[in-house]
Chains A and B, each alone.
Chain A
Amino acid sequence: MAQPQPVPAASDAALISAWQAGDEQAAAELVGRHARALARFLAGAGAPEADLDDVVQETFIRAFRGVERFRGQCQFRTWLMTIGGNVLKDLARRSARRQVMPLDESVRDGAGDPHEHAEAREAEAQLAAGLKRLPRLQREVFLLRAQQGLEYEEIAVALATTPGAARVHYHHAVRRLKEIVE
């Protein structure tokens, strides 16, 4: 008996077109597809965990409202992250007195070796603290490269810079993070 062929997932571009034509489900599909990656980026960039849902939500709202500005110059997910960076900047401006804590230390994962977990958590906390001390561009280039695995060409388009400049920002970020972490 012939196996049913899996339905190929619609591309981001197709979902964006469908949303622009009024298909709400397409927008929901885009949220489902990119929300967690966006949340990881935002958490790394300093979004307080308590506000993470709101920041992700606001990022999607801005993206969908301004979707006509997205012309496929980079991946939709990368474009979302640049918008998320702006949302985060606005949030920091509004609540300048509030301390930004990217990691929720109170939440513990019970599985695995507790010692390894503690070490991993400490390394994450150090990296998060180091990232907070970097200039915004260096921080975002580092996260897009190291966390999201993007190439310099893609990062350059997203952040309106050149691949060479993105590479320089990345290396500066790594050098400073090593100093901080060590």
Chain B
Amino acid sequence: MKHDGTSHDGRLHETAQRLGQRAADRLDVDGIARQVLQRLREEPARQTTWIHQTWLRIAAAVVILVGGAFALRSVWSNSDAGNHVAHFVADDLNDLSTDELEAVLTSFDDLITVDSVAVPESSDDLRELDAQQLRQVLRSLEG
């Protein structure tokens, strides 16, 4: 190999070539070879362990991903179902007559306490409400 440039580069190369020489001379090469071979003989068992650990980690990751996906899917489908029901209830309310709305409210009276319903302040009795007010009450019940 040619030295690059000046004689100073040459000195730098000479110094670099001496670097670590004494440490390398003291190296126990035969001992290192023996230890390397011994560790390599142990490798198959360690590799098997590594493979088992890796597969376990992969399996755990798959379980978490699939479980998470199912959980998200169920949350989204419940949310969609809720919107769907609300939509139909609202549509149905528009089609009901005053008498029919009163009948619905009567059945609700058995299930829900009056305290939880937003009744217009001017009225004490649900039966006195007109169709528009009854729709308002029912919508408040939908939450």
Contact = CB atoms under 8 A, between A and B. Distances in A.
A43 interface: yes
Nearest to A147: B16
A66 B94 CA distance: 75
Contacts, number: 115
Interface string A72-103: 00000000000000000000000000000011
B4 A53 contact: no
Nearest to B46: A65
Contacts of B16: 44, 127, 142-143, 146-147
Interface string B29-70: 111111111011001000000000000000000000000000
Contacts of A171: 4
A178 interface: yes
Kindly state the interface size class of chain B when it binds its partner.
20 to 34
A52 B15 contact: no
| Interface-central residue, A40, A109, A142, A143, by most chain B CB under 10 Å | A40
Given A39-B24, A42-B20, A120-B18, A56 B32 contact: yes
A102 B40 contact: no
A60 B32 contact: yes
Interface stretch (A5-13, A25-33, A156-164): A25-33
A107 B25 CA distance: 12
A17 interface: no
B21 interface: yes
Interface stretch (B5-13, B76-84, B115-123): B5-13
B28 interface: yes
A28 B33 contact: yes
Interface of B: 1, 4-5, 8-9, 11-13, 15-37, 39-40, 43
